[in-house]
Structure 1
Amino acid sequence: MQNQKLNTLKTLIKIAEKPIGPKPGFEITDVIKLFFVLGEGAPRGRKSLSKELQLGEGSVRTLLSRLQEFALVKMERGGCRLTESGVSIYRELAKMITQPKPVDAGPLSQGAWNYVILIRESAAKIRSGLEQRDAAVRAGASGATTVIYAAGRFSLPGVDVDVEKTYPSSFWRALRDLLNPKDGDTIIIVGASSAKAAERGALTAALQTLLADIQLSQKT
């Protein structure tokens, strides 16, 4: 299972890598979002994907061509959909993280738009949460808060602080209903001035955690 996870991450990185020629107009976060969109099953056209991803049609065309090179998407009359290999990538991705979702972050709001993402079985990898915050900010977010879920409660990484008691709010119940977290999961709440920046910040912060597995595998 660990090898499948690493292979999935490496494939996503390769798709987003700069090929020979001009720099592509998309990033790895756009690749991940595309898998979540196409993972819903229905074929999607370029115009629909352009609107969903907030990318130009030319960038979407290039992105789809890259996925075709890896035999991960196929073109049909109604649009494009994931191949069997593409579905496998999507399923592995969904085992690692949830699709970022907009949320009313209440006391943890750090911008006009806030998105939340869950990283499964990752709490042991989180040090202070500063790495995830910095990654989100580099991606254009205003800030990010990382909490871990253990023993049925939300707490700050590195310190035994029950954030539900420190920051009492209906937000925590809403978060449970939205994400259904399990012990050992990590949740990152990212705020930004735009929805795209908050969503991209959430995905980038999650990748900061996931890519640690690749770095570790390269050392062993």
Structure 2
Amino acid sequence: MSWKRGAYPEFGLEDVVAAVFLLKDAKGRKQISEELNLGEGSVRTLLKKLSHLELIESKQKGHYLSEKGLKKLKEINSLFSEPKEIEKIEGMPAYALLIHNPPEFKSIDLRDEAIRFFAKGAMILVYEKGQIIFPEDGRPLKDTLPEIAQDLENLELKEGDLIVITWAPQKAHALKSAIHVALFLKKGELPRDILEVVE
């Protein structure tokens, strides 16, 4: 039996989580497709699965999270934050994301994961004693990259938070590579319904 891989809608867990963040507000299929850089067929399947799990509702103005979906979003937010766009790095779109109560990690492994997932570059930082620092040597970010440090101060930082910054030529790749790093550390704690979307 032959089949064409391209005929199958393809999306990953990163797309599912990004879609949940996006659907806090009503969005049309075309807008989701553009923001996630996913084909409309894949977006249609993704929305169908989210709807089947009763995580979203749809109206004329678009698709949005249901009560159950909002509950799952809260559970995700207790693990890691929604990626926030920050100022460009190396002229590329960049996103920052906070991972709460991170397990032990090696910065190099997390950077490698981000780059494996289409990021052009990644920075791994921690928030300790009121400062954003590089975990390897305790260097404060504000000493080397004051503009980025200032940008990050708008985030709701908590002691011990891990900060992941990723950048890529495509906005969707920068966004999803940050989520990918969060999933690399926290996938096992995700709500079951979210994992079911890709199973």
User: Structure 2 vs 1, CA of residues 213 and 79 (structure 1 numbering), >3 Å: closer, same or farther?
Assistant: closer
Q: Identity over aligned residues, as a percent?
A: 31
Residue of 162, 180, 183 corresponding to 2:156? 180
Which of 121, 129, 153 pairs up with 2:101?
Answer: 121
2:96 touches 2:178 (CA, 8 Å); kept in 1? yes
Q: 1:189 to 1:111 in 2, by over 3 A?
A: farther
Instruction: Give 1:25's match in structure 2, choosing from 3, 7, 10.
Output: 10
Contact in 1 for aligned 2:119/2:167 (Cα 8 Å): yes
CA contact (8 A) 1:102 1:114 kept: yes
Q: How many residues align?
A: 184
| Structure with greater helix share of residues | 1
Aligned to 1:79: 62
| TM-score between both structures, scaled by the size of structure 1 | 0.74
The answer for unaligned runs of 5 or more in structure 2 is: 1-6, 191-199
Contact 1:147 1:186 in 2 (8 A): yes
Highest RCO, 1 vs 2 (Cα 8 Å, sep ≥ 6)? 2
Cross-structure match for 1:198: 174
Task: Give 1:61 shift.
Answer: 0.7
Q: Secondary structure at the match of 2:135?
A: coil
Q: Which amino acid aligns with 2:113?
A: A
Deviation at 1:86, TM superposition (A): 1.1
> 2:120 & 2:36 partners in 1: Cα distance?
21
Equivalent residue in structure 2 for 1:146, among 103, 120, 124: 124
Deviations 1:35-62 (CA, angstroms, capped at 9, x unpaired): 111123xx33222322332222211110
Q: Distance in 1 between matches of 2:116 and 2:61?
A: 37
Kept in 2, the 8 Å contact 1:144–1:191? The answer is yes
SS in 2 for 1:104: strand
Gaps of 5+ in 1: 1-21, 215-220
TM-score where L is the length of structure 2: 0.81
RMSD: 2.2
For residue 119 of structure 1, report the CA deviation from its aligned partner. 1.2
1:218 corresponding residue in structure 2: none
1:98 to partner: Cα distance: 2.0
In structure 2, the partner of 1:169 is 146
SS at match of 2:146: coil
Shift of 1:89: 0.7
Structure 1 position 75, deviation (Å): 2.6
Q: Give the Cα–Cα distance (whole angstroms) in 2 for the partners of residues 95 and 88 of structure 1.
A: 11
Question: Secondary structure in 1 aligned to 2:87?
Answer: coil
The answer (yes or no) to whether the contact 1:127–1:158 under 8 Å persists in 2 is: no
Q: What's the CA shift for 1:183?
A: 0.7
- 2:172 counterpart letter in structure 1: K
